[in-house]
Structure 1
């Protein structure tokens, strides 16, 4: 077969099953593509030897009928997932040289299913960012470019390496994580599909923590069907993660009928934000029409506490981050600063963190420490927790009224140039999460689906939010929208 890297997960699986190609041929094609794409800076730790060993093992397994559901399929892994014996830095200088002696539960499940690891993917440091510019490896670059402009664009963040790799055909699919939109926003920026599952659907064990009550692993893929396949392999209860749900994992792919007749789709009025580009509003209207044409009923709903979501998120997430990142002290693992004569343990902590953490991480740790401090705990952190409960109840009320899914924009704009917000107020960057953070605060599943291009030739996505634990129904609604949109555009190769 030619153009093996252009295949999606489902197509590659079918080609392997039919004997039209082998995992070794597939893996070699991706490794060649990766080597030619250094300009994208998507892969930060390449693992060609591991990839070829697993590809050979997968081909052998297929000959003995012991093939798992992902047998022989090459994937990219976000640098946040601990991979045994392979550098896992979470995009940070402070974890330089760290090679875990264990495997995250999600990647273990993928390897048990027969998947092949191509390497580790770029990301914002500790998943803190919306543009992949806080990475110690430098920014990943979006394979898309504006029409007639060669300026480098962000692939979104924090899972920028994952979205760039999938969009540029450098893997069949990739793992990612979403704390406030870090799967859905990069997917929207790169014309890919990004699925954030219900909190607790995928184990967090072995994933470097940012904000433990918000973090959730999920896939970035080339299609909704591929997202269903990946989620089926990634999901499941894990006794090592106390927040992991003890629920059976359904066959998500089998639930993709495309039939959404009678479904009720809610349109929240609060998502019509000031300054929204007309193109985003037009896209949203088109999404409503596509779902209505597929047989769904479109209703207006209210999520009244939406306006408090961003400030609530940017109190809770930094608070949890400040606690989680306290473990990086230069004593047990990772980077250790050189000490001067007479320096003590406090100097070790301070110098290691000053050297190892980037500016955005330091900013969030300081904000988090502030809101958790004795004089401000009730005024900020406790109040944010109460508002979070109200945001969650808004969604519960909507679903109680019969709404099956909620349609919103995924991002307030298309991809912007790298460095465009370098001198801006950090809040300007945080506004990229305006449509996505509510889903994390409420623990709900959400998916971004590409539906069109803007006037600059860049992809735009719409977000569907589903009921808790009903990823199958959400994926089916997304599948219907994907079919109606017919989005097949790919970035013109320049790298």
Structure 2
């Protein structure tokens, strides 16, 4: 990789966009630089394995179109989106015409969607070259990206550790400079938690602010598509692009898209009331994580913010409520993968060929262990005689959590907590303890249950690994979270420089340390 290419991929997306508009670089050169980076670090000896599919031809074709329009000039060039020509990666849970969409599952191996998700339609209309599809825990069920049928993704900060999940592929791609921007989905923290563990910025929009049309549903009342980037400004620009009302999504919100980039540029916390959530700190949180969290509070206080403590007693039950609501909705949503209509089909051996037996054989072979675990749990919670005791009770807790947020926001403009109680843990460490894995989402889940926006920004290092700081805001007040996150980003950068610039180098010659779950990229059941 040349020095020029090395420097090119380390620009922010906003800087790339500015250079493209000024004619200092071309989109073809920029896109090719990222494709070269993917070739260098995503496979082979480094083996980040952020991508499941790379679409070089399509990406370069889009880049060439942008360059041609800018060269010609005129009204068409003036009408280009500010991010036109800046490459992007898309989580493989979001359907994309012309590229495979697998959801990280053998059930959809090689499946080609006949249509684009709304967010992909917007990316293509804005002419962002789509580099490819990123790895994830199967059907977004996991917190480590170890549960993909196509192999694990590794953390660019330490390739023996997880990148978080379920959207670890998108976060790792951005952290490893394989893409300046990416899309993820967040059901219980699957954008924010990988953001914390890879030192990237991850945004979960207000529920309904970004269309879910074309995102393969896990839990429909919780899922939300959002941006992954290296800076709050980049995340805000992408968030603004994908947001807006969509009549094809019955949960889509109407109204104007908030001016998030403006909130980032005017980042000032003077007079801002920032609420520290009593329940999201202390026991279970690593010492280094809490140290970085309190340093962030000190920096915000010194910048003029008012730090107050808020009590959200129902948060104690958030994890339990989530792991009843989410599996229940997932078991319903995944019923369509039956081996009859589309996707993988496995015929039973011997005996009569019935729909029931085909369905049983297909789901047994096509779903991984974590997906099966959640389907069983959800089906049980919805079964006759248990619905009120489990699913119904969980929904009541959800209401209490929403009420706790409402009360908290009367005392504070935004809320703050660590994004994850720990830094990235070693690959394979929690394989035998699903409950320990679920605890990684304890700080991110409440926002999904309440439908409020959240943003995770890097807060420094602990043991050489990134720590995330999470900001939460009231419904439709996403700009508040971006304002606070950008302010903290600016305050910390004043001391240490941009956080992403501290990321360790990865090269073709890097030695892959032995770790569990070696790059087995074969789908389950194969």
Scaled by the length of structure 1, what TM-score is found?
0.97
Q: Does 1:227 align with 2:235?
A: yes
1:331 aligns with 340
SS of 2:207's equivalent in the other structure is: coil
SS of 2:409's equivalent in the other structure is: helix
1:123 aligns with 136
Alignment of 1:359-370 (within 5 A): 359-370=369-380
Alignment of 1:110-189 (within 5 A): 110-145=123-158, 152-189=160-197
2:27 aligns with 23
CA distance in 2, matches of 1:491, 1:240: 43
Q: Would the aligned equivalents of 1:97 and 1:335 in 2 still touch at CA under 8 Å?
A: no
CA distance in 1, matches of 2:57, 2:284: 49
CA distance in 2, matches of 1:98, 1:155: 26
Equivalent residue for 2:431, pick from 391, 409, 422: 422
CA distance in 1, matches of 2:393, 2:19: 54
CA distance in 1, matches of 2:258, 2:431: 44
1:93 aligns with 106
CA distance in 1, matches of 2:454, 2:327: 22
Moved more, 359-368 or 480-489: 480-489
Q: Does 1:409 align with 2:418?
A: yes
1:9 aligns with 13
2:455 aligns with 447
Query: Cα deviations across residues 248-287 of structure 1 (Å, max 9, x unaligned)?
Result: 1133212221122111000111112423222122112111
CA distance in 2, matches of 1:212, 1:61: 39
Q: Does 1:493 align with 2:485?
A: no
Q: Does 1:390 align with 2:400?
A: yes
Relative distance call for 1:308 and 1:273 in structure 2 (3 A) is farther
Q: Would the aligned equivalents of 1:70 and 1:110 in 2 still touch at CA under 8 Å?
A: no
Q: Does 1:197 align with 2:205?
A: yes
2:517 aligns with none
1:148 aligns with none
2:496 aligns with none
Gap runs ≥5 in structure 2:
494-498, 511-526
Q: Does 1:353 align with 2:366?
A: no
1:340 aligns with 349
Give how far 1:449 is off: 0.7
Give how far 1:6 is off: 0.9
Query: Cα deviations across residues 75-129 of structure 1 (Å, max 9, x unaligned)?
Result: 0110001000210010000011210110000111111111110000000000000
Query: Cα deviations across residues 365-393 of structure 1 (Å, max 9, x unaligned)?
Result: 00000000001000000000000000011
Gap runs ≥5 in structure 1:
146-150
SS of 2:422's equivalent in the other structure is: coil
Query: Cα deviations across residues 468-489 of structure 1 (Å, max 9, x unaligned)?
Result: 1111121011100001111341
Q: Would the aligned equivalents of 1:78 and 1:161 in 2 still touch at CA under 8 Å?
A: yes
CA distance in 1, matches of 2:241, 2:288: 36
Give how far 1:189 is off: 0.5
2:524 aligns with none
What RMSD over aligned residues (CA atoms) do the two structures have, in Å?
1.1
SS of 1:50's equivalent in the other structure is: helix
CA distance in 2, matches of 1:304, 1:400: 16
Number of equivalent positions: 487
CA distance in 2, matches of 1:399, 1:272: 18
Scaled by the length of structure 2, what TM-score is found?
0.91
CA distance in 2, matches of 1:77, 1:336: 26
